[in-house]
């Protein structure tokens, strides 16, 4: 009993460090932004950093907590991005309040992605092991290809959908084509900014951490660690897996909406296999299961190639080398021991223990 209490406390402490880290980063960045007129590169990177952090945190739920390998995370991002952008472009003139429209499209994009997560999860999460990886990989590609074919236009008589070409939409004179096949959606209003991105990241982290430390989270972790034992004690494996998968898809959708409202040109080329792998790399190199690690890895690995721009043609080479080095170092026992030694959580704990020891 005593021991469990202390463990719970450790988890809470770790969470507090995560929030403190995020808020400190936000305050520092805000001060830098407010005091510098220039630094456009720095400012421009803030929203993408939030987007990829949200992606990494949400994928960490599936990979780290659920213990399943998902290779189609960019597919959910794609759904969120397209739904959100479509809604915003469609109602650009009808909803005068920018923030209201953006909030609605965020919810819409997230929920749609969550629904897709649910639909795909039903058959897929009943599978075991590598099959989930294969099916999610396929799902990501299917979504991308379907969206590529879509032409959607709107005129006085309503929505028109075609999978052939813009001229097959048969729009009236006053109609506009919103989704233009491979060209995607252009002219999405620029509603994303760092504050919104940061708040969304905070919400993602909040939900993620609370989920991990909740009754549901413990059930999910028990499935990850020993599925048969979990089933024996009466945990509904599929149900819990679905919950996590849906939440993860929901936040990927949110990240997608944020993405599409940050850049005015949206097409599917970004939502391919490479992006899914990239986010997986963030999660793995950040330490599977660690929310804080996912964010740190996402920030470092996204910013790195941008920071290396001065090296011109060599930057991609260096990026790859850094990735490999990180992988080697992360798996090195000595490094992990060293990390343990300098860990902040450990430091605080030791001090507390030390103080307790001194008192008694």
CA dihedral 313, 319, 325, 329 (to 10 degrees): 160
Instruction: Give the span between the Cα atoms of 29 and 36, in whole angstroms.
Output: 11
Residue 157 tokens read as 């008589």
Q: At its nearest, how many Å lie between another protein and the CB of residue 346?
A: 24
Q: Does 29 bind another protein (CB under 8 A)?
A: no
Q: Does 236 bind another protein (CB under 8 A)?
A: no
Instruction: Give the span between the Cα atoms of 208 and 25, in whole angstroms.
Output: 19
The single residue listed with the structure tokens 């987007």 is 51
Q: Interface with another protein by CB under 8 A: which range of 1-9, 91-99, 244-252, 261-269?
A: 261-269
DSSP β-bridge partners for residue 180? 151
Q: At its nearest, how many Å lie between another protein and the CB of residue 17?
A: 25
List CB contacts of 199: < 8 A, sequence separation 6 or more: none
**Continuous segment of H or E residues that includes residue 206:** helix 194-212
Degrees, nearest 5: CA angle 238-280-192: 100
Q: Does 325 bind another protein (CB under 8 A)?
A: no
Instruction: Give the span between the Cα atoms of 129 and 152, in whole angstroms.
Output: 38
Q: At its nearest, how many Å lie between another protein and the CB of residue 60?
A: 13
Q: Interface with another protein by CB under 8 A: which range of 11-19, 109-117, 307-315, 351-359?
A: 307-315
Query: Which of 123, 129, 156, 357 contacts another protein by CB under 8 A?
Result: 129
Q: Interface with another protein by CB under 8 A: which range of 23-31, 272-280, 335-343, 352-360?
A: 272-280
Q: At its nearest, how many Å lie between another protein and the CB of residue 356?
A: 37
Instruction: Give the span between the Cα atoms of 233 and 302, in whole angstroms.
Output: 42
Q: Which residues bind another protein (CB under 8 A)?
A: 38-41, 43-45, 48, 63, 67, 69, 71, 129-130, 133, 141, 145, 148-149, 165-167, 180-184, 186-187, 190, 259, 262-270, 274, 277, 280-281, 284, 288, 306, 309-310, 312-317, 319-320, 323-324, 327
């Amino acid at each position: 009993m005593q021991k469990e209490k202390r463990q719970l406390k450790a988890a809470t402490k770790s969470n507090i460090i995560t929030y403190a880290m995020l808020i400190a980063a936000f305050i520092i960045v805000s001060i830098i932004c407010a005091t510098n007129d220039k630094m456009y590169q720095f400012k421009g990177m803030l929203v993408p950093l939030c987007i990829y952090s949200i992606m990494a945190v949400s994928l960490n739920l599936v990979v780290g907590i659920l213990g399943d390998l998902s290779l189609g995370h960019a597919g959910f991002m794609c759904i969120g991005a397209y739904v959100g952008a479509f809604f915003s472009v469609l109602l650009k003139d009808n909803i005068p309040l920018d923030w209201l429209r953006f909030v609605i499209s965020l919810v819409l994009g997230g929920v749609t992605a969550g629904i897709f997560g649910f639909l795909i999860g039903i058959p897929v999460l009943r599978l075991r092991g590598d099959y989930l990886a294969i099916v999610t990989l396929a799902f990501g590609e299917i979504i991308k290809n379907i969206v590529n074919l879509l032409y959607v236009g709107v005129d006085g008589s309503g929505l028109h959908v075609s999978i052939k070409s813009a001229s097959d939409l048969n729009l009236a004179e006053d109609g506009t084509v919103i989704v233009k096949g491979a060209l995607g959606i252009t002219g999405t209003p620029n509603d994303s900014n760092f504050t919104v991105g940061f708040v969304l990241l905070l919400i993602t982290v909040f939900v993620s951490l609370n989920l991990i430390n909740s009754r549901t989270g413990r059930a999910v972790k028990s499935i990850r660690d020993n599925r048969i034992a979990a089933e024996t004690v009466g945990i509904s494996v599929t149900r819990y897996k679905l919950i996590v998968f849906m939440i993860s898809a929901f936040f990927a959708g949110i990240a997608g909406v944020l993405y599409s409202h940050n850049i005015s040109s949206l097409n599917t080329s970004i939502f391919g296999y490479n992006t899914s792998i990239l986010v997986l790399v963030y999660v793995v190199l950040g330490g599977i299961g660690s929310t804080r690690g996912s964010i740190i890895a996402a920030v470092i690995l996204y910013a790195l190639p941008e920071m290396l721009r001065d090296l011109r043609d060599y930057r991609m080479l260096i990026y790859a080398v850094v990735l490999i080095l990180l992988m080697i170092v992360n798996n090195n026992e000595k490094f992990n021991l060293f990390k343990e030694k300098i860990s902040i959580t450990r430091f605080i704990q030791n001090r507390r223990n030390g103080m307790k020891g001194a008192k008694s």
